Amino acid sequence: MVKQIPQFIIAAPTSNSGKTTITLGLLRALENRGISTQSFKVGPDYIDPKFHKVACGKNGLNLDLYMTDTEDILATYAKYAKNKGAVCVEGVMGLFDGARRSKGSTAEVAKILDLPIILVVDAKSVAYSVAPLLYGFKNFDKALNIAGVIFNRVNTKSHYQFLLEACEDVGIPALGHVPFLPDCEIPSRHLGLSIQEMQGYDSVIEKVANAMEETVDIDSLLDCCLLDEKSTKEIPIISTSEKINIAVAEDEGFNFSYVQNIECLKELGNVVFFSPLKDEKLPNVDLVYLPGGYPEFYTKQLSDNKSMLQSIKNFADAGGKIIAECGGMMYLGKSIIDKEGNEFEMANVFDLSTSMQAMKLNLGYRTIQFDDFQLKGHEFHYSTIIQHKKFKSIATVFNARESEVDTVVFQYKNVLASYIHYYLGQEKLLKNLLKLLTN
C-alpha cells in the first residue's frame, strides 16, 4: 500500500507577503506536533534553507529549474522527502514570477511535482476586494491546485469575516489567518545575517508557530494536501576508480553552499570540513571548495590567520585544485576593504581586491559558457572588484535572458574563482569543471 503524506507548496501573489514567516512557523508547528517535516526552497536562495533548519532541524533543499532540470528536481525531491511525515516547499517571489514569464516559477515547480498550493495573502490593506485576486490566481492556470489560503496580518475577527466570505464566493478554502506579531518579522536575506544571528530567531519562530496553532486550521491544511509518497528516483552516482580527498570551507564566514553540491562532492571523494577562520592550515587534500558566505564580517580574523592564508597560497602555487565562489573568491584576492575603508590582507592568489565601500547589489541567474561545457549558477553580492591587473575571463557569462554580462571567471593554474555560486549537483557538471582544473 502506498503511503500518503501531506505535501504542499507555500506561495503568494507577490514577494513580501509573509511566505517565509508562515513557512517557518508551520515547519516549527509540525515539528512541535512530532511530525518530521522535510522542507525545500524554490529558487537559488541559500539563506532561507538555513532558516528552515532553525525551524525544523533539517536543511532545506533548493529546487531550481534554471540551474538544473526536471529530472534532477524529481530525483532530489523524492530522495529527501522519503520517510518523512510531511513535506513543505517554500516558493519564491510571486506564484508565477519566473526568469522569463513563469519559466522556473513556483507555479512551474508545483506542476512538475504535482503539489497543491497554499496561498499566503497579505491582507493588511484589503477586505472583500481580495475576491477577484483569488479568482484570478485560481483560474489563470487550471493545471494548478490552489488548495487553500492563509491570510497574513489580520488582527480582528470582523476583518477575517470579509476575507472568509471572499473565499466562499471564489471557492477556495480559507485555512485561517496570522495576526500582525510585533518583533516577529523574519529579516530580509539582503541584510546579511550571520549564522549565530539566524539561530537567535529560534524564539521568534516559536512565537509564530504558537500563533498559527491558534488561528490557522493546520489539521485541515494537512488533510487537504495528502498525496502518495513520491517513488524514489535514482540519482546517478559518480563512479571513480580512486576516491580523492576534498576539503570544504565551513564556518561563520563561509557557509553558502547548495546541499546537492556537497552531496555530489561526497560521492566523488572523502570530504572533510575546515575553517579558514580558526584552523592553522589546510588538511592534506586534492581539492579545496571555498563556497560563499560573509568573509566581510570577519576580515580581521581572516587576515590575522596568516598560517592558513599561506597554506592556501602554497596549495594554489603548487597546482592544487580550488573552486571558489563569491566570498571564497574574495578570500583568494589580495585584500578585502571594509565599509570604513580599512584594508585587510587575504591569500593573494589573485592580484585583485574586493571592496564593501559604495555597495551595490548585483544579482541574477548566470549561464557560464566554457569552451567545451556549460554551467549554471546565481550571482548575489554587494562588493565590487578592484583589479590590480587586467584579467581575461576564461568563460563567457550570460544572464537569464541570454544577454552577456561582465562577470569575470578567473583562473590561476588549477584555481577557478568568480562571484557566481555554481550548481554542481550532477555528476557531469562536477566532472567537467574538475577536468578544466587539470594541468
Q: Which residues are catalytic?
A: 326
Q: How is 183-241 classified by DSSP, letter by letter?
A: T-PPPPGGG---HHHHHTTHHHHHHHHHHHHHHB-HHHHHHHTEEEPPPPPPPPPP--S
Cell of 95: 506564484
- Name the amino acid, one letter, at 30: L
Give the Å distances, CA to CA, from 264 to 171, 380, 438. Answer: 44, 23, 19
Sequence-ordered list of residues with C-beta below 8 angstroms from that of 307, at least 6 positions apart, any chain? 280, 281
Instruction: Please give the Cα distance from 303 to 350 (Å, whole number).
Output: 15
HSE-CB of 97 using CA atoms within 13 angstroms? 12
- Where do the DSSP E strands lie in 226-320? 226-228, 244-249, 254-256, 269-274, 287-290, 292-293
Instruction: Please give the Cα distance from 96 to 14 (Å, whole number).
Output: 9
Sequence-ordered list of residues with C-beta below 8 angstroms from that of 182, at least 6 positions apart, any chain? none
Q: Which helix (H) or strand (E) holds 429?
A: helix 427-436
Q: Cα-atom radius of gyration of the chain, to the nearest Å?
A: 23
Instruction: Please give the Cα distance from 359 to 341 (Å, whole number).
Output: 12
Give the Å distances, CA to CA, from 379 to 136, 214, 321, 337, 407. Answer: 33, 40, 22, 20, 9
- Indicate the angle between helix axes 427-436 and 259-268, nearest 10 degrees: 70
Q: Which helix (H) or strand (E) holds 90?
A: strand 86-90
